Chains A and B, each alone.
Chain A
Amino acid sequence: MTSLAVTLRRTLRIRDAARPVTPFRLLGLSTERLLTIATITAIVLAWFVLTRFDLVNPLFLPAPAAVWDAFIRTASTGYQGSRLDQHLLASLERVLAGWSLACVVGIPLGFLMGLSTKIKAVFDPVIEFYRPLPPLGLYTLIVLWLGIGEESKVALLFLAALPPISISATEAVAGIDKRYLTAVQSLGATRGQLLRHVILPACLPGICTGMRISLGFTYSVLVAAEIVAATAGLGWMVWDAAKFLLSDVVIMGLIVLGLTGLVLDLLLRRLERALTPWRFI
């Protein structure tokens, strides 16, 4: 094993050295990084220019300074009874509760569906049926069943989070190269060893990707989950501010939502690296 790792590292170093230096390489940043920075700068600059010269109605696009004010105001005195960190915490709790529940249920379920076509035949139609339903439509029914408390909100987020996880787990298991299995079996591996040393590691990349997609999906359902009867939460704040045409709060809330979504994704990428290091060398 060690010799393999050494060989790999060596080849990589050679490839690194062989990589041509692009003319755009500034301050040690790659072309891709520079392009990303340029895009963000262009968007923010356009925002400044459009609002500075009154080219757009501030109702549609408030100035960056107004959005910043809304941020400071919400972070210090709060919006309708809760400070920004309380809104953020309320939302994160819901999202992480729904998503972790979906991981706990979805990964074993996907595994089983990948291993047995009979189990897949039972669960697949249910998941495939509700998956494309618009979350708001689904939510009205969930509120009728579970009430207006946290249960219904977490349930909606769970339902949104489940399909990407279970489907990717199913695909990952079903997609394992059969030669791996027969090779290990011919060496006398038991069923337990087969699962632990071949199937699980082989599936991990697929499952990790599924978990990441799922978290992004859960996040995008957040506003819908907080529309009915919430009193705190980023999604609720955005929805409520829109009712009162407070576009500075709306844009601020969306930026906070986007940034926290990015941070969550970054954390998951770290986890992915830790769990499946062989994909990142």
Chain B
Amino acid sequence: MIMTRTNRPRAAAMAGALGILLMCWTAAAHAADAPTSIRVGYVDLVNAQILAKVLHLTDKSVHVPVTWIKFGSGGDLNRAVAAGQIDFGGVGNPPATIGITRGLPYQGIFVLDELGPVESLVARSPIKSIKDLKGKTIATPFGSTSHYELIAALAGAGLNPADAKILDMDPPDAFAAWSRKDIDAAYIWEPVLGKMEASGGKILMDSGTMARHGYPTWDVGVVMTDFAAKYPAVVVNYLKAECQAIDYWHQHPKESAALIAKELNLTVAETTREMSGTYMIPCQRQLTAGYLGTPEHKGKFVGTLIATAKFLKAQNRLPGVKDDAVYAGFINPSFLVAAVKR
């Protein structure tokens, strides 16, 4: 068949339509064999995902039982991903970078949260600036967004990690050590951050400011690649629930604070403080250039992942950095596009 100039676009449109039809058909065929249940790994951070859990938005949307599995940190969650024990999860940009570089089979499908002052560098007097941290003992959970920001903040003040004694501690251990005056400073998240500030700590730096200095940190929602290929409709429904939860967070801040406080065993005051330090991005905005972007034009998150990978490589925390396309391939906004459309 010889194609003239005029009917070429029409043929392309027809092919496109056929493709979409085929996609819908396969999606429908796969949706028929839905999973018997889904497993969601989460870290007990104050964010809208907790609302999706307590308001039962997720189970109502995916129509199958949901098992929520709590993890201490993104690093622990990575290990569960490696063992194939969860279907959905959420990790900060450093654990995500580590996972992608080490070949974990998952994709980033939405923005869980963007970190502001909810994670900060706190120190006791007489430490007044980051430069004063030279030779001091600092605690932070290794492999976390806080660890990443700490090293970057020290570098910004002209200090090497070796100039201070940096210890790997989870928030509760860090608070115990802080109370015993075993540590001088910590880059840590709420609610332990607030407790340290209340007992004489001074905030030297926060993740919101670090983001403006070129070191943004965020948590990205992930799905296992196999699961997404097998049950695309479930992924879309899962995301619809997450989007509803984010809208609820913005529309009902008081109710959200009460619900989250109850779920995470925090006071409402602590929760409100944490909520103001954590930024929830409405789903429509997640598809703009500052975040995930669109499937055709991926957003700034890809650049952050690549920057994080180079940074971790320089710190000898990664054996090597993968091709840029690998990090771009991790960010997959297509499910979110479908979720906000319908």
Residues of A within 8 A of B (CB): 57-60, 80-81, 140, 143-144, 147-149, 227-231, 236, 240, 242-246
Q: Which residues of B contact A246 (CB under 8 A)?
A: 319
Min CB distance A10 to B, Å, is 60
Q: Which residues of A contact B7 (CB under 8 A)?
A: none
Task: Tell me if B318 counts as interface (CB < 8 A to partner A).
Answer: yes
- What residue of chain A has the Cβ atom nearest to residue B78's Cβ? A245
Tell me whether A60 and B82 are in contact in the complex, defined as CB-CB below 8 angstroms, given that A147-B180, A148-B167, A228-B173 are known contacts: yes
Min CB distance B63 to A, Å, is 32
- The contact size tier of chain B is 20 to 34
How many A-B pairs have beta carbons closer than 8 Å: the answer is 65
Tell me whether A229 and B78 are in contact in the complex, defined as CB-CB below 8 angstroms, given that A59-B103, A243-B142, A245-B99 are known contacts: no
Tell me whether A244 and B143 are in contact in the complex, defined as CB-CB below 8 angstroms, given that A148-B167, A229-B173 are known contacts: yes
Docked complex Cα distance between A246 and B82 (Å): 12
Chain B interface, DSSP helix/strand/loop, else mixed? mixed
The 8 Å CB contact of B75, one of A57, A230, A236, A243, is A243
Docked complex Cα distance between A244 and B177 (Å): 24
Q: Which of B78, B168, B169 has the most CB of A within 10 A?
A: B168
Q: Which residues of A contact B167 (CB under 8 A)?
A: 148, 229-231
Q: Contact between B182 and A147 (Cβ–Cβ < 8 Å)?
A: yes
Q: Which of A58, A60, A236, A242 has the most CB of B within 10 A?
A: A242
- What residue of chain A has the Cβ atom nearest to residue B139's Cβ? A229
Docked complex Cα distance between A2 and B75 (Å): 66
Chain A interface, DSSP helix/strand/loop, else mixed? loop
Q: Contact between B162 and A148 (Cβ–Cβ < 8 Å)?
A: no
Tell me whether A231 and B165 are in contact in the complex, defined as CB-CB below 8 angstroms, given that A147-B180, A149-B182 are known contacts: yes
Docked complex Cα distance between A169 and B94 (Å): 51
Top 7 A-B pairs ranked by shortest CB distance? A229-B167, A245-B102, A243-B143, A243-B75, A147-B182, A148-B182, A148-B177
Q: Contact between B165 and A244 (Cβ–Cβ < 8 Å)?
A: no
Min CB distance A175 to B, Å, is 43
Q: Contact between A244 and B103 (Cβ–Cβ < 8 Å)?
A: no
Min CB distance A86 to B, Å, is 14
- What residue of chain B has the Cβ atom nearest to residue A58's Cβ? B103
Given A140-B172, A245-B98: 11 more A-B contacts, CB < 8 Å: A57-B103, A59-B104, A60-B82, A143-B177, A144-B176, A147-B180, A148-B173, A148-B177, A229-B139, A243-B75, A244-B98
- What residue of chain A has the Cβ atom nearest to residue B94's Cβ? A244
Residues of chain B in range 145-189 having any CB-CB distance to chain A below 8 Å: 162, 165-169, 172-173, 176-177, 180, 182-183
Min CB distance B157 to A, Å, is 20
Q: Contact between A143 and B176 (Cβ–Cβ < 8 Å)?
A: yes
Min CB distance A101 to B, Å, is 22
Task: Tell me if B79 counts as interface (CB < 8 A to partner A).
Answer: yes
Q: Contact between A80 and B316 (Cβ–Cβ < 8 Å)?
A: yes
- What residue of chain A has the Cβ atom nearest to residue B161's Cβ? A81
Min CB distance B138 to A, Å, is 11
Q: Which residues of B contact A244 (CB under 8 A)?
A: 75, 98, 143, 312, 317-318
Min CB distance B277 to A, Å, is 25
Q: Which residues of B contact A140 (CB under 8 A)?
A: 172-173, 176
Q: Contact between A59 and B82 (Cβ–Cβ < 8 Å)?
A: yes
Docked complex Cα distance between A228 and B172 (Å): 11
Task: Write the B79-113 contact mask toward A (1 if CB under 8 angstroms, else 0).
Answer: 10010000000000000001100111000000000
Tell me whether A245 and B82 are in contact in the complex, defined as CB-CB below 8 angstroms, given that A59-B103, A143-B173 are known contacts: yes
Min CB distance B71 to A, Å, is 12
Q: Contact between B169 and A228 (Cβ–Cβ < 8 Å)?
A: yes
- What residue of chain B has the Cβ atom nearest to residue A145's Cβ? B180
